[in-house]
Each structure stands twice: as structure tokens, then as C-alpha cells.
A and B are shown apart, each in its own frame.
Chain A
Amino acid sequence: MPTISNMPDSVIEFTNLIKKFAFQSQKTFKEFLPALIKGEETSKGFIALDEVSFNITKGETVGIIGPNGSGKSTILKLIAGVMSATTGKVKVHGSISPLIELGAGMHPELTGRENIYLNGAILGLKRRQIDAQLQSIIDFSEIAQFIDQPVKHYSSGMYMRLAFAIAVHVDPEILIVDEILAVGDETFQAKCFKRMEEFKQKGVTIIFVSHSLAQVQNFCSRAIYINKSKLIADGTTLEVCNAYLNNQ
């Protein structure tokens, strides 16, 4: 699909992006030094993304689909700035909130309340913002009576609720969601999707990785299909989902 770069409202641009992982053949320094001296190979290459290019404009909701190991998460990490391109360019304009894992950085010994501050800070919230929204976060999570218990005592459901409650209170221009909506019971999932719809209305650009074609079709206007490190299809959700199904 032809891409027009330097579009005024293009918020994410991948241009001929190649991501190659160089896995070290030796895991310890003790192994590395003799290997270096002997002239053995010290790294193995693995191409995670091969010449991927696409352009996402402000306010779009884009789904990324593909089999496991195809490179979807790598794309998200490149957008989030966690990884860097090997060659090619990644341009991102706007603040990002990565929901690549819920509860990143939470410490089991700290209470729910303390973890709200910690996790919020990790997601880029300033202290003032967390203070202002603290009650709203606690209410959304529905675990107010346990909020002052250490999170090591939480069930995984409670943990996830807290983490998601914090995550939905960020105020990003770009939201990246990686398969985390697969957890949680029906009512909570519904609440989360409702919140995501609100983000959509606000004009937040949303990148949504999911294995559930149904979720992608419901929620996204556009989709990108990645398989074995290559971009196979990029277009409306219907077209791309069909391409995916035809490839199975």
C-alpha cells in the first residue's frame, strides 16, 4: 500500500524497518572470552521484522494480527521505544501509553495504594495526576477494601483489576494494547472495552494486538497482518481478516 510520509497528522511511521536480534552464542563472560580468542561466532542473527513499512494517522484504531512469533509484539515494542530498529526508521509523534503488560514494576510487598503510585509513575503519570485520580482508580478497580493490603495477598484477578484501573487512567495520545484484554471476567472486560471506546471518541490513536478476530473486527477500523516477520496485508479490518483466514 503506498505510503505518504510527512502527512501532517501521521503519528506512527515505519519506513523499511528491519529488526534483527543478535543473540549471543555465549551466555557468560567465561565462555565469551575463549570463543573470541578462538575466532568462533559470538552472535547468531534472527530477523524479527523484514522491511516493514506502514503509516498510522491520528485517531485511527488499528488492529495487528498474526500468528505467534510473527513479530507483532516486536512492532509494539518498537513503537513504545523499548527496542530500536536495526535499519530503517521508526517515527512516533505523541505520548505513548503501553499496555504491554499489566502491573509492570509492581512490588509484592507494597500495598495496592503504594503500587498505584509506583505503577502510575512507570506509565508516565506525574504525582499530581495520580493524587487527583486516586479515588477514581480505586473505584474502577472495585477492590477498595483491599487497597491497603500488600499485593502479594491479591488473587490474580484482583491484581489485574488494579493494574488495569491504573492503566486506563493514563492520558496518552497513543495507546498500545497487547493481548492483555484476554484476561478478566465478562463484566470487567466489558468495562475495559467501554473505556477504550471513550479513548477512541477522544481521538486517541489505538494500536491493538489480539488473537481474537472478533475483538479486532468489533473494535478496529483498520488492520495489519504480520506473518513470519513480513507485513502481509494492510487495509480495512474486513479485508485483512479475510487474508488472515485464507492463509490458515
Chain B
Amino acid sequence: MLAIIKETRDIIKWRELLIQMVSREVKARYKQSILGYFWIILNPLAQMLVMSFAFSVIMRIPTNATDNIPYSIFLFVALLPWTLFANSLNSACGSLVGSASLITKVFFPRTILVLSTIMAKIIDFALALSVLVVYMIAYQIPINLNILWAIPIFFIQQIFTLGLSLFFAASNLLYRDIQYLLSLLLILWLYLTPVIYPADMVPERYRIIFQLNPMAVIVNAYRQVILAGNMPNLLSISIALGVSLLCLLLGFTCFKSREKIYADNI
């Protein structure tokens, strides 16, 4: 616990570097392509359109509790944060290896490398969110104050993401094929999370698995507060928070314990 406080203080000391690295990622992407930032919006939008077609026109997945909502929005509300989660993890996994030359030459808190990729992805997410907002206005989806719950839910998601990211970043440095394992894991995880289908379609006897999957709880909670206008299930959210904090603690410990040999192993 003390180590986390010390690390936070170090990061604040090096905040200029963190800002510069986030800025670098954001700017570099924009400069590298013709589509530039348009791609950040195009990606989830295209996914949503095609998946909506596949899962509501071809295969008809009912949205149940949120029946009055078009499937495309039902999907998008869950797909956006899921994409953020998956992208953050994949990107963070390679962040140490990708900055190999920096790690062997200069000292700075290595957690900044992981943090900067996650923050860059959050910026992407914020942009893609604008598409969701436009959609919701266009379809006149009603919202109420409960939507503000999305903010703490978002924080829980980031705690979980950070914990896993630290673990995978450290592991990938030592064994370079971990990133492929992670890619596969995330693809499968998508199906085990109620993104494409509503949570209440899951048969009773399997619900326990979903309770233990923080992303399932998080994604369902987003739907609850944005589309149904309800409060999230506080018990589930608390469990998700607990699991996420545990993940953060474990991930951080793993990251720091191997830190001394990062420069050796590149």
C-alpha cells in the first residue's frame, strides 16, 4: 500500500513526462493518417452498424428489459466501453516493449508508460462517445439523473483496466508472446460479457460467473443507468469494485517486483 502512495508521488513529480507521452500518442496518430482522428469514430461506428445488422436483423437477439431501445444503441452503450477496455489492455501490454530504448537509457517511473497508453485510449473513447450522444439525441432516448452513476462506474472500469494492464505489460516484457495470448483472451472475453446480448438472457446457473466478471457488471451497469434510467445494482458494483481493487494491487505488485530487471531483459 505504501508502495502505491510512493509511486503516485513519483508520477506526480514526473507529470510533465506523462503529459508529453499522452500528447505524443495522440498527436502522432493524428499526423500519421489521412483519416487521422476520423478513424477513432469510424471504428466503433462501423462495428456497431455491422454487428447490429448481424444480431438484430439476421439473428434476432431480444433486448428484454430495455425493449424500447433500438438494438444498435443497446449494443453501442456496451460496445464503446468494452472497446476502450480491450484497446487499453492490448496497447498497454506492448507499452514496455515498445519503449525498450527509453527503458534502457533513462530513469523515470515505468508506470508512466502504461498510464500514458491508457490515458491516450480514454481520449479516443471521449471522441467516440460523441457518436453515441448524437445517436441518443437522434433516437430521443430518455435519460435521467441516474446517468451520473456512469462516472463512478467508469472509475471502477479504469481501476480494473490499470491492474490488468500493469500485469500484462510486465509479463509481456519477459515473454513476448503474452500479447498474443491476451488478444485471444479479449476476443473470447467479449462473448462472456453481456455486450452483444442482455445480461438477463444468461441462464440462472451461469450467473455466478458473470457476477465475478467485473466487465460484465460494469457493462450491465452502464446499460442500467443510461438506457433504463435505473440505479445500478449496488451489491454487484461493490463486488466489481472489490475485484478491481484487488486486481490493481496484484498487478501493481507484479509490475514493481519485476521492475528491477526490465532494463536487463530487453
Contacts and interface: CB of A to CB of B under 8 A. Distances in A.
Interface of A: 21-22, 24, 26-30, 32, 77, 80-84, 96, 98, 100-101, 104-105, 107, 109-110, 114, 117-118, 121-127, 150
Contact of B108 (A21, A22, A122): A122
A24 B265 contact: yes
Interface in B163-181: 171, 174-178, 181
A163 to B, nearest CB: 12
Interface residues of B, number: 33
B40 interface: no
Interface stretch (B24-32, B148-156, B204-212, B218-226): B24-32
B263 interface: yes
Given A109-B32, A121-B16, A122-B17, A101 B264 contact: no
A97 to B, nearest CB: 9
Contacts of B177: 28-30
Contacts of A150: 31
Contacts of B101: 101, 104-105
A22 B264 contact: yes
Given A27-B175, A77-B104, A104-B106, A21 B181 contact: no
Contacts of A84: 260-261
Contacts of A118: 20-21, 23-24
B233 interface: no
16 contacts: A24-B174, A29-B181, A82-B104, A83-B264, A98-B105, A100-B105, A101-B101, A105-B99, A107-B24, A109-B28, A109-B31, A110-B28, A114-B27, A124-B108, A125-B16, A126-B16
A216 B107 CA distance: 26
Contact of B176 (A22, A28, A82, A109): A28
A22 B262 CA distance: 11
Nearest to A78: B263
Contacts of A104: 101-102, 105-106
Contacts of B103: 82
Given A22-B261, A98-B105, 4 more contacts: A28-B175, A107-B28, A117-B20, A122-B20
A100 B107 CA distance: 11
In order of increasing CB-CB distance, the 9 nearest A-B pairs are A81-B107, A29-B175, A84-B260, A121-B17, A28-B177, A121-B20, A100-B105, A109-B28, A121-B16
A111 to B, nearest CB: 9
A115 to B, nearest CB: 9
Nearest to A119: B20
Contacts of A80: 105-107
Nearest to B27: A110
With most chain A CB atoms within 10 A of its CB, the pick from B20, B171, B174, B177 is: B20
B106 A100 contact: yes
Contacts of B264: 21-22, 83
